[in-house]
Chain A
Amino acid sequence: MSHDPSAAGARPDATALPASAAPILRVEHLSMRFGGLVAVNDLSFSAKHGDITALIGPNGAGKTTVFNCITGFYKPTEGRIALQFGDASVWDELGPLTERGTRSARRGHGSLFLLERMPDFQVTQQARVARTFQNIRLFQGMTVLENLLVAQHNALMRASGFTVLGALGLPSYARAERAAIDKARYWLEKTGLIGRADDPAGDLPYGAQRRLEIARAMCTEPVLLCLDEPAAGLNPHESAELGAYLHAIRDEQACAILLIEHDMSVVMEISDHIVVLDHGQRIAAGTPDEIRNDAKVIAAYLGVEEDEVADGALADLPGALP
């Protein structure tokens, strides 16, 4: 693992961010209805810069729906989803931006986006939110390296002059492609996949595919990485590795992480902040310790009366909760 910030994958511009206080993401009064079904109901929470925020809750609580709203795959029925990076003072623009009806605002080096107004690909391209999927979505017929190059599509498109200059074989594009391969190499080394760079992604074992999907998301240079059940299907050893990997991303890349996870040991171990959902509503939010002892959370998970559950029982539960 490289700690050198000048390495291909680390971003010097992101290291200056304040590691505390300012939120990167604010979800306010988010509701999502599918016909008569209310999947998310008036949900508000925020995620801070440099934090790992976990979104947990029983099955069907609406976690993935929230993810799909944040990443633009769903248009929420109501509510506002604001994301900021760079200069934190740009948060002051939130009111005017909402009034104006446009998608983004800038102030100095700060950028503010209203994600619910943006189509899915722009959420990644401009607001720099990357995501992974519950059921892994790699480009199986392409090699591991190609997967990481596709993730750098927008940067490479610009470098290739939207294909025209690249097709003419200009050296500037060749340089950009070498840089893209270097960045891919950086992530392959970090994920321990360097030896399999030229194999088809579909040929990797399950755990490696999960790591590759995260690496691929990181190649889009996100400020917020959304992981949908990254530990699903991993064995305890792999889960522990994943935790270390996510901490490394948070600390070295200055990238905030929002994750959905069922594996409580992973959640309690790696999260800085936890939001608990049940039936589309927020029932608790706080640090792992607070959540562990929250009566409502215990009741929601176990479906029993509060006093039947001993303090801290949740922490002792086996890996995957229902």
Chain B
Amino acid sequence: MEAPHSAVRVDLGRAVREAALAGLIAFGILLPLIGFNTVQNIRNELVLETRWPLLAALVAIVAAGRFLHELVIIPWLARRAMRPRAEHAPPAWRAALARWAPPFALGFAIVYPPLALWLAGFQGAAKWIDNFGVQILIYVMLGWGLNIVVGLAGLLDLGYVAFYAVGAYSYALLAKTFGLSFWLLLPLAGSLAAFWGILLGFPVLRLRGDYLAIVTLAFGEIIRLILINWVPVTNGYAGISGVPRPTFFGIPFNADENGFAARFGLEFSPIYRTIFLYYVILALAFLTAAVTVRLRRLPIGRAWEALREDEIACRSLGINTTSTKLTAFAMGAMFAGFAGSFFAARQGFISPESFTFMESAVIVAMVVLGGMGSLIGVATAAVIMIGGTEIMRELDFLKHVFGKDFDPTQYRMLLFGFAMVLIMIWKPRGLISTREPSAFLERRKTVAAEFVREGRG
């Protein structure tokens, strides 16, 4: 019955059998989970409920999925495996994409606010510029900052949000207490975050791999707990409100006659501040990228990547691995501090809620999904993940389909996990997994993913 080519030839009987088996297994598993449900009635009694239609629907989905898998996907995979492999040369469109995507993306980012204004008008544009533009760019910047630590130096840092929090609270407290300006506090918050990066780095950098990840995770939680419990300074859970907003080089964005709109003879609208904030974070993110690109071509950047490849070899070449790791940590923390102080200035209110482990996890996920070390990959992942979340808030029409109580954002984590599983199957090393060499003799050739190591901390 099992002919040697049965994988390619469509075998209907086999598909039906497989589907029936899968349906049976699904029925067995889902019967107690879905088929029965216990609910409390008004008299606080537990009542057993049955949900046969739902159970039947789920079993049918599993069986149909298995049927299609047998009938369509397996023959397709088999045919693909038998086709002669195309030679290494990547298609021309890919080279063109790699060449033109970054300048195009930057150009689009620059014209995005006027474009949004033009398309959505003064009222509608605020949402697009703030929720999509500013929000995504903050995460792009955080992703690029963490990329230095995780992607280049290969140190898995699960507590990156701690430095973001240090930056945000540094700005909020110093601006409120001493009335210092945003532009003065931005480098200060960055330096403070870098300082904390070094402080954390000293004891933990002798740890490697999983151990380093656990300790950095704990450090992130420690910072958050300090923010919660040091009430006299941080105001605990209540957070800090009334954080001074950034000014246009001294000109506040308000409805006063000294305000930005009045000075420039415009009608007052809160959108000017949003646009200004957008360009500030765009500049900061661009700075992060420029510094990363620059440092990669300097000995320190090469040492980071060498560290990711093989730490013992680094030491045998006279590289001080401790200071190399510390600079990576400090550099990453500094950009998180910049982003944090920007975040505080933009929100006007910060609380420990914004700096949970979830944020660290999202940023790490962006770096991993994007492809460790690749700026374009990380930025793409940030756009997809953060933009995707924001888009889900917009999908109101789904309420008509699934009923009034349906909230698409509730499914964010589910979709998130699903997307991650898919990417790990198709692109296990991230969207862009090749590596651009930092120097070349004759010709710059990208290094294929299979040679590049992920680092073990």
Give A contacts to B, CB under 8 Å.
71, 73, 120-125, 130-133, 137-143, 145-146, 149-154, 156-157, 160, 163, 166-167, 173, 177, 181, 184-185, 188, 194, 197-203, 216-217, 220
Select A167's contact among B298, B320, B442, beta carbons within 8 Å.
B298
The answer to whether A122 touches B318, judged by C-beta atoms less than 8 angstroms apart, is: yes
Select A141's contact among B298, B309, B315, B319, beta carbons within 8 Å.
B309
The answer to whether B318 touches A220, judged by C-beta atoms less than 8 angstroms apart, is: yes
Min CB gap B443→A, angstroms: 6
Provide the B335-365 mask, 1 if CB < 8 A to any CB of A, else 0: 0000000000000000000000000000000
Min CB gap B193→A, angstroms: 19
Select B439's contact among A121, A139, A181, beta carbons within 8 Å.
A181
Min CB gap A241→B, angstroms: 23
Give B contacts to A, CB under 8 Å.
291, 294-295, 298-300, 302-303, 305-306, 308-310, 312-321, 327, 435, 437-445, 447-448, 450-453
**B308 nearest CB neighbor, chain A only:** A141
Q: List 19 A-B contacts (CB under 8 A).
A: A121-B314, A133-B312, A139-B305, A139-B309, A141-B453, A142-B435, A143-B439, A146-B302, A146-B305, A150-B302, A153-B317, A157-B299, A163-B300, A167-B295, A184-B441, A185-B441, A188-B441, A198-B442, A200-B451
The answer to whether A200 touches B448, judged by C-beta atoms less than 8 angstroms apart, is: yes
Contact A150 to B316, CB < 8 A, known contacts A156-B299, A199-B445: no
Residues of A near B327 (CB, < 8 A) are 163
The answer to whether A133 touches B299, judged by C-beta atoms less than 8 angstroms apart, is: no
**How far apart are the CA atoms of A188 and B298 in the complex, in Å?**
21
Min CB gap B456→A, angstroms: 13
Residues of A near B438 (CB, < 8 A) are 146, 149
**A143 nearest CB neighbor, chain B only:** B437
Select B321's contact among A121, A138, A220, beta carbons within 8 Å.
A121
**A165 nearest CB neighbor, chain B only:** B298
The answer to whether B440 touches A145, judged by C-beta atoms less than 8 angstroms apart, is: yes
**How far apart are the CA atoms of A7 and B294 in the complex, in Å?**
30
Most buried by B among A123, A137, A199: A137
Residues of B near A146 (CB, < 8 A) are 302, 305, 437-439
The answer to whether B310 touches A137, judged by C-beta atoms less than 8 angstroms apart, is: yes
The answer to whether B319 touches A149, judged by C-beta atoms less than 8 angstroms apart, is: no
Residues of B near A133 (CB, < 8 A) are 312-313, 316
**B313 nearest CB neighbor, chain A only:** A137
Residues of B near A138 (CB, < 8 A) are 310, 313
The answer to whether B306 touches A150, judged by C-beta atoms less than 8 angstroms apart, is: yes
Residues of B near A194 (CB, < 8 A) are 441
**A203 nearest CB neighbor, chain B only:** B451
Residues of B near A125 (CB, < 8 A) are 318, 320
The answer to whether A198 touches B453, judged by C-beta atoms less than 8 angstroms apart, is: no
Contact A202 to B302, CB < 8 A, known contacts A137-B312, A167-B294: no
**How far apart are the CA atoms of A132 and B320 in the complex, in Å?**
17
The answer to whether B316 touches A137, judged by C-beta atoms less than 8 angstroms apart, is: yes
**How far apart are the CA atoms of A201 and B451 in the complex, in Å?**
8
Most buried by B among A133, A139, A151, A188: A139
Residues of B near A143 (CB, < 8 A) are 437, 439-440, 445, 447
Contact A163 to B299, CB < 8 A, known contacts A121-B320, A122-B318: yes
The answer to whether B445 touches A142, judged by C-beta atoms less than 8 angstroms apart, is: no
Min CB gap B40→A, angstroms: 58
**B291 nearest CB neighbor, chain A only:** A167
Residues of B near A151 (CB, < 8 A) are 317
Select B295's contact among A163, A188, A216, beta carbons within 8 Å.
A163
The answer to whether B321 touches A142, judged by C-beta atoms less than 8 angstroms apart, is: no
**How far apart are the CA atoms of A79 and B45 in the complex, in Å?**
80
**How far apart are the CA atoms of A150 and B299 in the complex, in Å?**
7
